[in-house]
Amino acid sequence: MYVRQQYEDFNVLHREREDYVLTLSPSSSGRAITDARITFHYSMHGMRGAEKGALTDNGNYEVEIDLMMGGEWTISIEIERPGIKKIREKFIIDAGPY
């Protein structure tokens, strides 16, 4: 969602902060992975956060995050399972309206 604010003689259009739900789906075999610890890390220009993913009834791991402002955010997902090397994947999202 965009918000227009006026500063003296010019307008600035920027994105509002929004909540997002990040979902990590089950394995490619379709079986739920119930013994994992999933952490979602997110950052943008000095703003950081990390939340633990919660296992849902359908076998997904989900977390709701509050991105403080629109723009590009780096999202890292850290997956830990007993007896398996820790996995970390990173990607960029553009927060804000589509």
Q: What integer pLDDT is reported at residue 72 of this predicted model?
A: 87
Task: Report the alpha-carbon distance of residue 8 to residue 41 in Å, rounded.
Answer: 38
CATH top-level class of 17-95: mainly beta
Please state the pTM of the whole predicted model: 0.71
Task: Report the alpha-carbon distance of residue 9 to residue 28 in Å, rounded.
Answer: 55
Place of tokens 């919660």: 54
Distances (CA, A) of 26 to 5, 6, 35, 36, 94: 43, 46, 12, 11, 24
Cβ neighbours of residue 13 closer than 8 Å, sequence gap 6 or more: 2, 3, 4
Q: What is the chain's pLDDT, residue by residue, as a tens digit (98 residues)?
A: 444 444 445 544 445 566 778 888 766 777 778 888 999 999 998 889 999 989 888 888 888 888 878 788 899 999 899 999 998 989 888 887 54
